Amino acid sequence: METPERTVMERMEQGTAPPPDAEIPAAHTFEVKNLSIWYGEKRAIDNVTMDVASNAVTAIIGPSGCGKSTFLRALNRMHELTPKTRMDGTVLLHGDDLYSKTIDPAIVRRRVGMIFQKSNPFPTMTIGENVVIGLRLNGVRNQRFLNERLEKSLRMAALWDEVKDDLHKPGTSLSGGQQQRLCIARALAVEPEVVLMDEPCSALDPIATAKIEELIHELKAKYTIVTVTHNMQQAGRISDYTAFMYLGRLIEFGPTTKIFTNPTEKQTEDYITGRFG
Amino acid sequence: MEIATAPASKAFGPPVSPRSVAQAMARPSRFGDKAFEWLTFAMALTVAVLVVLIGWELWHGSVLAIKKFGFHFLVTSTWDPVADQFGALPFIYGTLVSSLIALLIAVPLGIATAAYLTELAPLWIRQPLVSLIEMLAAIPSVILGLWGIFVMIPWLRDYPFAWLKRLFGWTPLFGGPIYGPCMLAGGIIIAVMILPIITSVSREILRSVPDLQREAAYGLGATRWEATRIAVLSYAKKGLFGAVILGLGRALGETMAVTMVIGNTPQIVASLFQPGYTLASVLANEFTEATTDIYLQALFEIGLVLFGITILVNLLAQLLLRTIATTSATRAVQ
């Protein structure tokens, strides 16, 4: 039977996952220090400090309501769309303070792309328009450049061969898995520094899920990826580092191999062995 | 875990045989469902029958006039009850033009207000503003008409109309003397009257746009205006069009307030500063004076024309909606 432990150990032997004693590499994309977030009176994130390694996949796991989605959204200030949020602490992206008063959240989100639980292409736009809309928003008008980027992004999202003759069709005419890859292409088209994924496969069937996971592997070479997942098998299959969160706190963070085979904290072990959550 | 594995008898009382369960479940629903189906069908039918009956009654009431004037009724401009000459063209023109002016003013205003209320306004401002807009809808139209005569028209005449004349007086639309009561004033008062319905329907439609769409836009680094445009307004296009049509339906039939400010002169002139007349206004004004049969029948026919226009507008709108739905998503990239 496939277990996260087995999967991650196999990956380590193949050299595609860091060994349990690996340090978080010094090349950080994000440095999160003492981050706390409140929704009104409710504290969703409680004093989290964590570094996110560059060109690696970091998975955030934990039971529902543990704050993992909020944490992910805090990395591109998406949580601010919810009214009455408050934050404390710092988040640095390549050394830049994302919450500095002089920084526009729109700029942050151009540097940090995001993929959501359910695919959300714009239904009034064609496949092609969906991919380049981010560039259009940035003021790119050069049609040749847009077309080049359109093809490049769709190729990176492993969707080009499936849609190259249907670029004028509505984005919503695609299957669920294709729509999610279209959303990935849309996020990649603006060349972000990081891609955040909020349970990107939770609405997909196993075949579509496998395709997205394969894609995540390929994207790692160029992008830093942070993903939230409910699915422990998936965390074992795709991530290099895993963070376990519970009740808004970061319980344990380290190489996925260590988290799944030899966790330090009892709570982590209980969660990954299915004793709670 | 414990609840799921406990024997059913413990959690839900003594065990029952599968047959009795099936019987107990099948019996009541069948009759209830049928009754509900027929009841709702009857209700739906009532609405349809009402529309047909009203149309038939209007036709029946105007059959003499239809026979006497025929198609001429729709294309002649003379309205002379003394000479038994009846032509509806100035009223049709007045209804269409005043409604068009109303839409030109109320649609951008209503949709912008709705977008502000759902996308941009701080939370504490939203509810008071919504209540205010609903209060506007609650003002009786005769009161709005009085306000139109005593406040709006003098102000319009002194400021906006005077400016318009100075800037665009050379065009036929804003030429000629300014009386006060006129087509433009009529259009503006209708705009005030349809603004609440356009705003509140648009607001409901914008609110129903899934948050995922907004997040998709914000996630790409869209500003508030960009997200509202690409994710919200464009998603809601079809529904907003419906809101406009609802407003247009109201505008065509609006009677009291318009009658009080439009000037009530059956004429077709280019200048919006000249008085006009609408189908609804002439009905309201002249019903009590209709002493001859043919006069009354002509007024009935005016009603029939108004009825026909509203139905036609709605049909056209549905047709247009279908073309919007099929073409907007299939526009080519290049």
Return the CATH number of B66-327, one of 1.10.1040.10, 1.10.3720.10, 3.40.50.1100, 2.60.40.10. 1.10.3720.10
Q: In the predicted model, is pLDDT for residue A61 greater than 80?
A: yes
The pLDDT of residue B15: 60
Q: Residue B115, SS3?
A: helix
Give the number of C-alpha atoms closer than 13 A to the C-alpha of residue A125, restricted to the C-beta side: 27
What is the tens place of the pLDDT at every residue in A163-188? Answer: 999 999 999 999 999 999 999 999 99
Give how far A22 is from chain B: nearest CA, Å: 32
Q: Looking at the complex, does the CB of residue A169 fall below 8 Å from at least one CB of chain B? A: yes
The pLDDT of residue B4: 45
Q: Which residue numbers in chain B have pLDDT < 50?
A: 1-11, 328-334
Give chain A positions within 8 Å (CB) of B329.
123-126, 170, 172
Please indicate whether, in this complex, the C-beta atoms of A116 and B329 are within 8 angstroms of each other: no
The pLDDT of residue A83: 87
Task: Write out the H or E segment, with its range, that includes residue A113.
Answer: strand A112-115
The pLDDT of residue A28: 87
Q: In the predicted model, is pLDDT for residue A1 greater than 70?
A: no
CATH number belonging to domain A4-15+28-120+195-272: 3.40.50.300
The pLDDT of residue B326: 56
Please indicate whether, in this complex, the C-beta atoms of A120 and B212 are within 8 angstroms of each other: yes
Give the angle A265-A35-A110 at the CA atoms, nearest 5°. 115
The pLDDT of residue B12: 53
Distance CA A121, CA A182 (A): 7
Q: Looking at the complex, does the CB of residue A230 fall below 8 Å from at least one CB of chain B? A: no
Contacts of B242 by beta carbon, 8 Å cutoff, 6+ apart: B201, B205, B317, B321
The pLDDT of residue B325: 59
The pLDDT of residue A35: 97
Q: In the predicted model, is pLDDT for residue A277 greater than 80?
A: no
Q: Residue A112 pairs with which residues in a beta bridge?
A: A194
Q: Is the distance from CB of A113 to CB of B222 less than 8 angstroms? A: no
- Supply the ipTM of this predicted assembly: 0.91
Percent of chain A with pLDDT over 70: 99
Q: Is the distance from CB of B285 to CB of B213 less than 8 angstroms? A: no
The pLDDT of residue B319: 87
Distance CA A265, CA A254 (A): 11
The pLDDT of residue B217: 96
Query: Closest to A190 (Cβ–Cβ): which among B216, B221, B230?
Result: B221
The pLDDT of residue A269: 92
Place of tokens 């189908």: B279
Give the angle A7-A13-A17 at the CA atoms, nearest 5°. 65
Please indicate whether, in this complex, the C-beta atoms of A110 and B220 are within 8 angstroms of each other: yes
Distance CA B55, CA A146 (A): 56
The pLDDT of residue B308: 94
Domain ranges of chain A: 4-15+28-120+195-272
Distance CA A206, CA A185 (A): 20
Q: Is the distance from CB of A168 to CB of A126 less than 8 angstroms? A: yes
Q: In the predicted model, is pLDDT for residue A259 greater than 70?
A: yes
Count interface pairs A-B at CB distance under 8 A: 92
Query: Burial of B189 by CB count in 10 Å (0-12 exposed, 13-18 middle, 19+ buried)?
Result: buried
Distance CA A59, CA A268 (A): 14
Kindly provide the residue ranges of all beta strands, DSSP E only, lying in chain B, ordered along the sequence: 79-80, 85-86
Please indicate whether, in this complex, the C-beta atoms of B221 and A106 are within 8 angstroms of each other: yes
Give how far B29 is from chain A: nearest CA, Å: 34
The pLDDT of residue A165: 95
The pLDDT of residue B113: 96
pTM: 0.84
User: Which ranges of chain A does DSSP label H, i.e. alpha helix?
Assistant: 4-14, 68-74, 105-111, 127-137, 143-156, 160-163, 176-189, 206-219, 232-238, 256-261, 266-272
Q: What's the token pair of residue B221?
A: 């680094």
